[in-house]
Structure 1
Amino acid sequence: MFNFMTSGRVIFGEGSLAQSLSMIRHYGYSVLLVTGKGIQRSSVVLDYLVKQQLRYQHIAVGNEPNITMVEEAAVLGRKFNPEVIVAFGGGSVIDMGKALAAVIPNQGNVYDYVETVGRNVPLKTRPLPVIAIPTTASTGSEVTKNAVLRSGQDRIKVSLRDADMLPKVAIIDPTLTYGTSKAISARGAMDTFTHLMEAYVCNEPNPFSDMLCEEGFRRLSRSVTDACLHDDHKAREDLSFAAMLGGMALTNAKLGGIHGLASVLGGELKAPHGVITARLAPFVMRENILNAEANGEELILERYQKMAQILTGRQNANLHDAVLWVESILSRLDIPDLREFGVCSTTFELVAESALKSVDIKGNASTLDSERLVSILESVCQCDGHCEKRQDTEDDCLLVELVHDSSVETSDI
């Protein structure tokens, strides 16, 4: 027995955004528009809101959202009282939109509702409807039921999760990903891979999520280099489709050790989430394979072998070829090493202890204890002891522009 859930309506294809904007009006007159800092990219949506004389408020988000950002923006959002939220941007923007949709109608603060470091109280009031429009092929947030937020005081990433947080509409137009930089494309594609891979080998897969993952592997493996390195448009479409499938798969199956560790390291390091998950992937995969071999867990081994066959396109591929494929792609895409971000200076035991509290790690293919997590981190950090920490001076920020009726007011938080 299994359940399957996804966004209420999924619209996919080149040019789908322009053909679907009229759906905004179906959900009300007052629109909260959440975008990234480069608001010029969302001009098609803004122009539509103005043309239709809709009342709207605009929130532009810088970097990955944190709990403080959500709480401050929710105060403004409650004053505006939107009927629908339109989230136009990458995974972080869509997560911010979904978090606001959940928090604005509910009382209390964000810590009442988040997992791991919060009270994890169920939402009492149904979230506002969300229309999600991804501009990157990455997290699949447009079809997931959670929002990932950084908790600054706890130095960890946590989820605000509820089935009603699934967007009412997901508009996935691959043309919005054209021209994306190699760095953003690469880490997004590999984050998609980790979603597909962990959902495929998790301890509670199901036939439907397996089907999604296998098709995701096919599309991603045949297109990842052409999309990221050459901006090939057909390959971009494949990546957008694979990202959507990854989001659907993780919503209906589980994740694992990669995302359990990433939730902690994401709070410790100034490294993009996609870089962290990508660089953890081969080490967690290898650990799971070795453990499954030692314990005779044939189902897990069969899944890694099937994955290797799809990724490499070779029927004679063995399960270890899946790890080799990942390592090869990481090298070809020039994904930064986690040592550059100071992972070697973290306290592995504390990272492992915190990771074991995460929801994601409970879905890992085999049981992970603190010792095994420390071993994974030590493998990630094999170096000469003189790793240089990457300097990242860009602080978390939230830019808020309020636009409603015929007046304009601007404020910065």
Structure 2
Amino acid sequence: MSGTGFEFATATRILYGAGRLAEAPEAVKALGGHRVLLVTGRDATRAAPLREGLERLGLGTVLLPVAGEPTVDRVREGTALALAERCDAVVAFGGGSALDAGKAIAALATHGGEPLDFLEVVGRGQALTSPALPFVAIPTTAGTGSEVTRNAVLGVPEAQVKASLRGPHLLPRLALVDPSLLEGAPPGVLAASGLDALSQLIEPLLSVRANPLTDALAREGIRRSARSLRRAVLDTPDAAAREDLALASLLGGLCLANSGLGAVHGFAAPVGGMFEAPHGAVCAALLPATLEVNLRALRSRAPAHPSLARFQELAQLLTGQASARAEEGIAWVRELCAALSVPGLGHYGLTEADVPRLVSKARVASSMKANPLPLTEEELTEIALRSR
């Protein structure tokens, strides 16, 4: 846990609430741009009303659909398109993939260079020092929290890994979160994205970089996710459930951007690079075993560690029981994953023979640095095997 000092950084402005999408065109125009690169997911039709609203205000739009999770090559193409079309603002409307692609393009369009110059782990890791194009993030799923984070996760297929561009200039100028955009989302999408959001609330609460501000946000987000996620996936989600999920995702993004994550996301980045696997579903598959191994490691090697008490608090937040023990919280997570039919990593192609290579990649992932304590190779191997 952090000591007396900490930093908290987020989007310049956050708009939250049902129906707020209607405010997006005026908000984009107020940022001063005249020609907008509109980044969407694979299906751009949902963004049609937003595009029409921008054009009614006299803003030109250039469409860039991003099919699947963003890669270095797709970001190169998007940056070239933004420059060729003389775009002076970027709006991303979609899931985390669209948001991360838009974020990266907005930064690279002003900075020059190419993604591998700035990418962590497999790139040159140079700092992004120039302000980005004005960037607006509008999530249509409730999972990644990318609308308020200062990194963009990109796939590098040739290295079979995902890695981040990172820096304060990646923070959006505006994050607009409208829970009504979750209406009609398929149950599988709600499950995967919702469990991603939950893991992005749990890991910052346990993180070695946790601070009082992110602690408060994580507690609120965990309560909301715990009371609404199962109901939203297994029944028809009502407006209250959609609000809980959207806000839990937003709070998770605020937490991870300022307190870091842990071993779940340390594994998720290489898994996503090695296999065609949705990020949220990967995090869900990893969460129960990662919590169990971390708890055992803390008890055996660091019995005075402050994260131990937080495991008990986590159990109380998840179960709603003031007397809940750490193991009961982990059991609650495992039962939730079972109820939501979360597949193991073997579903995406991970075999026992892949585990040593996965562990080797996970050890150097940036998210591992915030795990409650460094895990041994044996412990990491156990997590990978038990998550299959």
* Alignment TM-score, normalising by the size of structure 1: 0.90
User: 2:284 is aligned with what amino acid?
Assistant: A
1:371 Cα offset (Å): 2.3
The answer to whether the aligner puts 1:80 opposite 2:85 as a matched pair is yes
Of stretches 135-144 and 80-89 in structure 1, the one that deviates more from structure 2 is 80-89
- Whose helix fraction is larger, Structure 1's or Structure 2's? 2
In 2, the alpha carbon distance for the partners of 1:180 and 1:145 equals 26
1:318 alignment partner, one of 325, 338, 357: 325
1:256 alignment partner, one of 249, 258, 262: 262
User: 1:247 is aligned with what amino acid?
Assistant: G
In 2, the alpha carbon distance for the partners of 1:211 and 1:105 equals 36
The answer to whether the aligner puts 1:215 opposite 2:217 as a matched pair is no
Question: Could you give the per-residue CA deviations for residues 307-344 of structure 1, whole angstroms, max 9, x where no partner exists?
Answer: 10011000110001111111111111112222211212
In 1, the alpha carbon distance for the partners of 2:252 and 2:72 equals 25
* Identity in percent: 36
The answer to whether the aligner puts 1:368 opposite 2:368 as a matched pair is no
Q: Which residue matches 1:135?
A: 140
Residues 129 and 169, structure 2, Cα contact 8 Å, conserved in 1: no
Residues 349 and 370, structure 1, Cα contact 8 Å, conserved in 2: no
1:346 Cα offset (Å): 4.7
Of stretches 220-229 and 185-194 in structure 1, the one that deviates more from structure 2 is 220-229
The answer to whether the aligner puts 1:306 opposite 2:313 as a matched pair is yes
The answer to whether the aligner puts 1:6 opposite 2:13 as a matched pair is no
Q: Which residue matches 2:45?
A: 40
Number of residue pairs aligned between Structure 1 and Structure 2: 381
Matches within 5 A, 1:93-242: 93-229=98-234, 230-242=236-248
* Alignment TM-score, normalising by the size of structure 2: 0.96
User: 1:342 is aligned with what amino acid?
Assistant: G
Q: Which of structures 1 and 2 has the larger relative contact order (alpha carbons within 8 angstroms, sep 6+)?
A: 1
Of stretches 342-351 and 211-220 in structure 1, the one that deviates more from structure 2 is 342-351
Residue segments in structure 2 that go unaligned for 5+ positions in a row: none
Q: Which residue matches 1:30?
A: 35
Task: For residue 125 of structure 2, give the secondary structure of its aligned residue in structure 1.
Answer: coil
Matches within 5 A, 1:50-69: 50-69=55-74
The answer to whether the aligner puts 1:18 opposite 2:19 as a matched pair is no
Residues 72 and 156, structure 2, Cα contact 8 Å, conserved in 1: yes
Residues 35 and 42, structure 1, Cα contact 8 Å, conserved in 2: yes
In 2, the alpha carbon distance for the partners of 1:298 and 1:152 equals 38
1:53 Cα offset (Å): 2.3
User: 1:195 is aligned with what amino acid?
Assistant: Q
In 2, the alpha carbon distance for the partners of 1:146 and 1:25 equals 25
1:264 Cα offset (Å): 0.7
User: 1:110 is aligned with what amino acid?
Assistant: P
Task: For residue 343 of structure 1, give the secondary structure of its aligned residue in structure 2.
Answer: coil
In 1, the alpha carbon distance for the partners of 2:326 and 2:136 equals 39
1:142 Cα offset (Å): 0.5
In 1, the alpha carbon distance for the partners of 2:382 and 2:343 equals 21
1:298 Cα offset (Å): 4.2
Q: Which residue matches 2:304?
A: 297
User: 1:335 is aligned with what amino acid?
Assistant: V
1:345 Cα offset (Å): 4.8
User: 1:31 is aligned with what amino acid?
Assistant: V
Q: Which residue matches 1:379?
A: 386
Question: Could you give the per-residue CA deviations for residues 184-218 of structure 1, whole angstroms, max 9, x where no partner exists?
Answer: 00000000011111111011110001001000011
Residues 128 and 169, structure 2, Cα contact 8 Å, conserved in 1: no
Residue segments in structure 1 that go unaligned for 5+ positions in a row: 382-413
Task: For residue 58 of structure 2, give the secondary structure of its aligned residue in structure 1.
Answer: coil
In 1, the alpha carbon distance for the partners of 2:369 and 2:143 equals 23
Q: Moved runs in structure 1, 4+ residues, more than 4 A?
A: none
In 2, the alpha carbon distance for the partners of 1:193 and 1:240 equals 11
1:73 Cα offset (Å): 1.6
In 2, the alpha carbon distance for the partners of 1:49 and 1:21 equals 5
Question: Could you give the per-residue CA deviations for residues 277-317 of structure 1, whole angstroms, max 9, x where no partner exists?
Answer: 11100111000100111121341111010010011000110
Residues 121 and 163, structure 2, Cα contact 8 Å, conserved in 1: yes
Residues 356 and 369, structure 1, Cα contact 8 Å, conserved in 2: no
